[in-house]
Structure 1
Amino acid sequence: MTDPLIRWRAHAEGAVLLDGFHALKHALRFGARVPVAVATDRKAALALAAELAADLRDVLDALLTEVPEQAYASLVPRPHPTGVAALAVRPSRQANLRAFAQTPRTAPVVVLDDPRNLGNAGAVIRLAAGFGATGVVTTGTLDPWHPTVVRGGAGLHFATAVERLDVAELPAGPLFALDPEGEDIRGVRLPDDAVLAFGSERSGLSAELRGRADHLLRLPMRPQVSSYNLATSVAMALYHWSATGAAATAFS
């Protein structure tokens, strides 16, 4: 068998780093192509698979190669407690754009307008995957496939479409932007083809995106409380959609 470090280097350019057992587990469950995976303790990793991912036990048995801890640490920026890492092939931009353009779209697209925090972006992608959203779009400079974002998303980038786009390229559909001056979200039924936009943690919605919005919505909030965490805001909006829209039956 080819040395795993040689295989790693052969696939590293442009690949998605799956940092930890759970990221690898989720990526495999949702169809990611994983050419190389390593573990510092293969036996322990397979025991974890037997406990938490029995559906993948045989796949992981064939895929995982044990490497020394020092070699593993050289492959990842921040070693994961599970001692597991892998590389996956990133979905093409064209595939993500096709997902956004499907008609009829059966779940919202979440837009993060110029987000700044990598961990927040990962948490939002994890939420979107859990709620069955069509995908997550980021505008601005943050790379939604950055290793820290993928780690925060626990590998669930492969369960939903994730892409960086300009505001002018946003998917079609009624655009609902979250804004303190908007209508109370509790009085609005969000359609399945909604585009739900959330401003950056620091400065809120950009003028360009706010100007394109079809509807401004606000989340319920106690007076004198200034804001919610970005991921919390997305969770509240997606829960409202899942509880009041056509998707409600899918979660019952």
Structure 2
Amino acid sequence: MTAETAESRWARHAADGVLLDGFHALKHALRFGARVPVALATDRRSALALAEELAPDLTGTLDALLWEVPGATLTALVPRAHPTGVAALALRDPAAVAPGDGAAPFVVLDNPRNLGNVGAVVRLAAGAGAGGVLTTGDLDPWHPAAVRAGAGLHFATQVARRQVTELPDGPLFAFDPEGADLRSVAVPDGAMLAFGSERHGLSAGMRARADRLVALPMRPQVSSYNLATSVAMALYHWMAAPR
């Protein structure tokens, strides 16, 4: 394929495609069933060698999928090209997100302000086997910066934006310093675990919607954990509980 053909294919899917920056994002998206209509590499041979080393299960798929383009072409198409020289577009599954349908909890981020944090939480949720991640507020959890921070693992779990009033009726445990110590709390099947924004904490609407306030154990005089750490602690508590 020529660079012009690759550019044309990219342009055709750019409006509805999710940008995958780098080899690892493409690897994870493919492993979890993402539809990838176009994938580019500035050095196809090096990208396939990386696949042979880190993802031999995908070598054949990538051999058929990757088109080589000049570095200038990739730079023109991708705002911040990844050091691996790989970029792709994937198509989102339009299936509805349905918290409460299974035992795994959903993580709810209440009006997050940092896209990198959103991506880090998606990565945690995917690794822990959570039901998915819901965000409230204005940030798009599928923004390229969030997908980049999530290493393509948006396709390994369910990710969507909802307003507080649109959250389902399942039990919602909101994390707040005034809540009960997490170590004394059992997370029920299908629960939602809500975390406030990095600066302002829980919104009034989320606090009112909560069925229970829960606090993370923390040494006195320490003001807070970062968002991803807080989510990791809560998900580990759920994972470690006997079933």
- Provide the aligned length of Structure 1 versus Structure 2: 241
Q: Percent identity?
A: 71
* Separation (CA, whole Å) in 1 of partners of 2:41 and 2:189: 41
* Separation (CA, whole Å) in 1 of partners of 2:197 and 2:75: 33
Residue 91 of structure 1 aligns to a residue whose secondary structure is: coil
| Residue 159 (structure 1) shift | 0.5
Query: Which segments of structure 1 move beyond 2 Å, counting only runs of 4 or more?
Result: 99-102
* Alignment correspondent of 2:138: 141
TM superposition score normalised by structure 2: 0.97
TM superposition score normalised by structure 1: 0.93
Residues 192 and 245, structure 1, Cα contact 8 Å, conserved in 2:
no
| Residue 101 (structure 1) shift | 5.1
* Alignment correspondent of 1:127: 124
* Separation (CA, whole Å) in 1 of partners of 2:103 and 2:197: 26
* Alignment correspondent of 2:108: 111
Deviations 1:187-226 (A, max 9, x none): 1111231100000001000000101111100001011100
* Separation (CA, whole Å) in 2 of partners of 1:231 and 1:66: 36
| Residue 171 (structure 1) shift | 2.9
After the TM superposition, which residues 121-200 of structure 1 pair with which residues of structure 2 at under 5 Å, given as runs?
121-200=118-197
* Alignment correspondent of 1:80: 82
Counterpart of 2:221 (choices 220, 224, 227) is 224
Matched letter for residue 100 of structure 1: P
Deviations 1:151-203 (A, max 9, x none): 00000000100000010111332100000000000011112311000000010
Aligned-pair RMSD on alpha carbons? Answer: 1.0
Counterpart of 1:234 (choices 208, 224, 231) is 231
Matched letter for residue 132 of structure 1: G
Where in structure 2 are there 5+ consecutive unaligned residues? none
Where in structure 1 are there 5+ consecutive unaligned residues? 247-252
Residue 172 of structure 1 aligns to a residue whose secondary structure is: coil
| Residue 12 (structure 1) shift | 0.5
Residue 100 of structure 1 aligns to a residue whose secondary structure is: coil
